Amino acid sequence: MDQIRNVQKMAGNDAGAMRKTAREKVWGYIAAALGLVAGLAWNEAIKGLIDHYFPIQRDSVWAKVWYAVFITAIVVFVMVKLEKYFKTADEKPVKVKEDGGAI
């Protein structure tokens, strides 16, 4: 009888964990979709700025290359800044005293 109760408890815990995992995954997908929408909006805004300030023919190869280089530079800059911002204390080096204790 105790074994049955233990199995029921374990199954209940697994179901709760599965629900939590599913909820986290769905939230991640929703956040990614909203990020894509925001990215597409910024794509159009940046294209408009480039067309306004650098009136090159839109379908030219140079306009597309310029746009790709510009976007790549911005993405790299933002990713480097975000990586530095989101580093946790665990990833930062800890200074150690000579006696072995942390400062």
What CA–CA distance (Å, rounded) separates 81 from 74? 11
What CA–CA distance (Å, rounded) separates 35 from 25? 15
Structure confidence by residue, pLDDT tens digits, 12-65: 667 777 888 888 899 989 999 999 999 899 888 988 887 788 776 666 787 778
pTM, whole model, 2 decimals? 0.49
Query: In sequence order, which ranges of 1-103 are alpha helices (DSSP H)?
Result: 2-53, 61-86
